[in-house]
Amino acid sequence: MTTDDIGGRYDHRMRHRHTDAVGSAVGALADSVFADPQRGHPVALFGSGVAASQNVLYRDDRARGAVFAAWWIGVGALCGVLARRAGAAGTAAATFSALGGTSLCRIGDEISAALESGDVDGARTAVAGLVGRDTTRLDETGICRAALESIAENTSDAAVAPLFWGAVAGAPGMLGYRAANTLDAMVGYRSEKYLRFGWASARIDDVANLVPARVTASIVGALSGRPHEVWTAVRRDAGSHPSPNAGVVEAAFAGALGISLGGRTEYAHGVEDRPRLGDGPPPTAADLRAAVTLSRRVQRVSAAAAVLVRAGTGRYLP
């Protein structure tokens, strides 16, 4: 291979990366302005395909579940490859599809507004669209806790993580990650039905979020003005949470806001007693608003960092 060949490949890679950076910036901006479409969202269409195939392919078996997960994550990554070949417009579309942080924060604002106006039933209805737990008997404190825990976890899952994987691997990384996260949400529950079939999906999602969750906690600590409290909560409390990643970001938000999270959590498949995260009183509607504001700031910083990394000249990024 000649020096000219090497230089040509490097120039091509640099052009690819700058195109990715422009597309990522446009896609992140589109998410902040438009949020998720109510109909025809690509992730919803992907979920419909997963659900339909599950009806045919489901077996109470880890190996079958692993093949199922690998197939659909591969489909997501392939969609990213095709999007990337479409240039900046394709990467923008992939980024917009992968991100869900703006819709997350809008629901958080809706719940806060309902509680502030005394509409507990309206807040309970709104939070049911945000969490997987049983919300029918939640009081105001339970609603605030459920919403804030979801805001914290999904700041990482729906914003920082896809941006992180986009910075590492472009559109294929973003959509492959989003596929893994969607599979975990659909079949990764610790219920009797999915304990074996969903095992691989849950473990893949755990691995994919190990770094993004800790990046999220780092940004929360930097932006909150309470870095000591954030890291105290993360170091002391996160490890007792059943999730290796949700506990990190929930503890970080608890430390940043001076509140405590955790407690009895009812799901359709059973009841979990979650560990206490952070110090201070349970969250209020004002704390939920503060969490939404913090989430938005974390998302903006993450988007800017991802674009800069993708635009950079790091030799080893694909």
Asked if residue 318 is part of any domain, the answer here is no
Q: Which residue has the tokens 């896809």?
A: 162
Q: Give the tokens for residue 52.
A: 């339909």
pLDDT of amino acid 311:
85
Question: For a pLDDT cut of 70, what percent of the chain falls above it?
Answer: 91
Cα 179 to Cα 199: distance, rounded to the nearest angstrom:
15
Is the pLDDT assigned to residue 9 strictly greater than 60? Answer: no
pLDDT of amino acid 246:
96
Asked if residue 206 is part of any domain, the answer here is yes
Polymer length in residues for the chain: 318
Range of the domain at 34: 3-311
Asked if residue 248 is part of any domain, the answer here is yes
Asked if residue 164 is part of any domain, the answer here is yes
Cα 289 to Cα 109: distance, rounded to the nearest angstrom:
6
* Residue 115, number of CB atoms within 10 A of its CB: 24
Q: Please tell me the total count of domains within the chain.
A: 1
Question: For a pLDDT cut of 90, what percent of the chain falls above it?
Answer: 76
Asked if residue 316 is part of any domain, the answer here is no
* Residue 310, number of CB atoms within 10 A of its CB: 26
Give per-residue pLDDT as tens, 197-219: 999 999 999 999 999 999 999 99
| Contact criterion met (CB below 8 Å) for 74 and 86 | no
pLDDT of amino acid 10:
46
Q: What's the burial of 250, exposed, middle or buried (CB within 10 Å: 0-12/13-18/19+)?
A: buried
Average pLDDT, the chain: 90
Confidence (pTM): 0.91
Asked if residue 157 is part of any domain, the answer here is yes
> Helix axis angle, 140-155 relative to 285-311, nearest 10°?
10
What is the average pLDDT across 36-41? 80
Higher pLDDT, 237 or 43: 237
pLDDT-based confidence at 8, cuts 50/70/90? very low
